């Protein structure tokens, strides 16, 4: 009981010390600010691409339907509707837009001529500053919006000219038979590796809030590295002068857990408020393992660096490695051996995949063994 009281007293005293440090408070404040900032930006008109939609005739039925469909399913593309063709062209030339899609007047007539075999009838005029992968994918989005209209035109031309020798049946009959063959529902079904997790909500998430968990995980790592620097600073100032060298390890982990528990609680609250919180048991379990792995990782980094100056110099390098190699924004398939050394890699992959949870357990054990060996080697040299 006395040991438990001493542990609580130590945690309380360390909490007071940490909360008096402006740098640690700034790190904690960065968590809610990051969440609020990402949510505000995600609600605004934003996208990887800006594409101008210009109709030659805004009253044209077919082009209006296509433009309406594109605006309704924006995704990661920011569409702007401009009626003046010259102004739309200037938007691309000036760099304010990545491309402009020009829809002709009497587009249905143009489409029918094209599907009948007159390939000189161009359906669209597209202006781009350059051709890249993102713009190529955007054109696939355009083709998807036009597909139902193109397929119906092909169907009507085939019935009229191939089966009825140019005698067009009534439009109502054509539409009735065409709609009868329509496939209802979604073609693709998304699922996580963990069958208990529902992937339907993730499909509609903003691409701006998707990397939020990864960025918050990096803040926790940064808090752990900051706590390691606080410990080295106190050690250099003689705070642990009366503590034997072999008894200081527990104080280092007290610094680590105190700092990261505060950060972990703040991150869990932020995940809950941002709407990307999954299941409570998964979030708390994985966060606890992540804090354990990160604390031992910081201990190893501290031992390898030795001095506070070296640790401070290595922090930007470590954070950059984690930002690039861990699945914060995207997953890097190469350099796996470096990814396996970084705690956020296991945490971010384990949320919806228990396979990486078991790997994180093995990773924690391996780090503890390495930390123990390094501790013995340091004690032997001293």
Bigger pLDDT: 9 vs 265: 265
Inter-residue contact 14 to 255 (CB < 8 Å): yes
pTM: 0.73
Q: What is the mean pLDDT of the chain?
A: 83
What confidence category does residue 159 fall into, taking pLDDT thresholds of 50, 70 and 90? confident
325: three-class secondary structure by DSSP: helix
pLDDT digits (tens, 9 = 90+) for 167-180: 767 777 777 777 76
In CATH, what is the architecture of 48-151?
3-Layer(aba) Sandwich (3.40)
Q: What is the pLDDT of residue 293?
A: 96
Q: Give residue for tokens 């950060």.
A: 263
Domain boundaries of the chain, sorted by first residue = 2-41+199-381, 48-151
pLDDT, residue 221, reads: 95
Q: What is the pLDDT of residues 221-279, one digit of tens each?
A: 999 999 999 988 888 887 777 777 676 788 888 889 989 999 999 999 998 888 888 88
Residue entry with tokens 């955007």: 138
CA 377, CA 371: separation in Å to the nearest integer?
A: 10
**Backbone angle region of 143, left / alpha / beta, with phi > 0 → left and psi within -120 to 50 → alpha:** alpha
């Amino acid at each position: 009981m006395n040991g438990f009281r001493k542990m609580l007293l130590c945690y309380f005293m360390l909490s007071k010390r940490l909360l008096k440090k402006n740098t640690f408070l700034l790190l904690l404040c960065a968590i809610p600010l990051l969440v609020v900032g990402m949510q505000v930006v995600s609600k605004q008109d934003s996208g990887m691409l800006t594409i101008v939609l210009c109709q030659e005739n805004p009253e044209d039925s077919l082009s209006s339907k296509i433009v309406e469909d594109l605006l309704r399913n924006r995704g990661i593309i920011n569409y702007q509707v401009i009626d003046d063709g010259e102004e739309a062209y200037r938007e691309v030339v000036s760099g304010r837009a990545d491309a402009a899609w020009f829809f002709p007047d009497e587009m249905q007539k143009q489409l029918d001529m094209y599907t009948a075999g007159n390939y000189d009838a161009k359906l669209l005029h597209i202006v781009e500053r350059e051709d890249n992968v993102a713009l190529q994918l955007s054109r696939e989005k355009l083709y998807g919006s036009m597909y139902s209209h193109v397929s119906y035109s092909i169907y009507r031309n085939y019935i009229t000219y191939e089966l009825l020798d140019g005698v067009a049946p009534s439009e109502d009959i054509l539409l009735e038979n065409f709609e009868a063959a329509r496939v209802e529902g979604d073609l693709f079904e998304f699922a996580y590796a963990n069958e208990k997790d529902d992937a339907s909500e993730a499909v509609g998430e903003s691409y701006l809030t998707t990397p939020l968990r990864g960025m918050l995980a990096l803040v926790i790592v940064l808090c752990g590295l900051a706590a390691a620097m606080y410990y080295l600073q106190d050690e250099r100032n003689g705070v642990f002068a009366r503590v034997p060298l072999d008894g200081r390890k527990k104080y280092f982990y007290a610094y680590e857990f105190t700092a990261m528990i505060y950060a972990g609680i703040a991150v869990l609250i932020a995940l809950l408020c941002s709407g990307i919180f999954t299941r409570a048991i998964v979030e708390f379990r994985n966060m606890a393992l992540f804090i354990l792995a990160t604390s031992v990782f910081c201990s190893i980094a501290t031992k390898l660096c030795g001095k506070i100056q070296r640790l401070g110099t290595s922090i930007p390098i470590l954070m950059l490695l984690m930002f690039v190699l861990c699945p914060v924004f995207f997953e890097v398939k190469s350099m796996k051996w470096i990814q396996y050394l970084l705690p956020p890699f296991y945490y971010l992959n384990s949320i919806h995949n228990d396979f990486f949870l078991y790997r994180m357990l093995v990773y924690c054990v391996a780090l503890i063994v390495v930390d123990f060996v390094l501790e013995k080697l340091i004690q032997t040299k001293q």
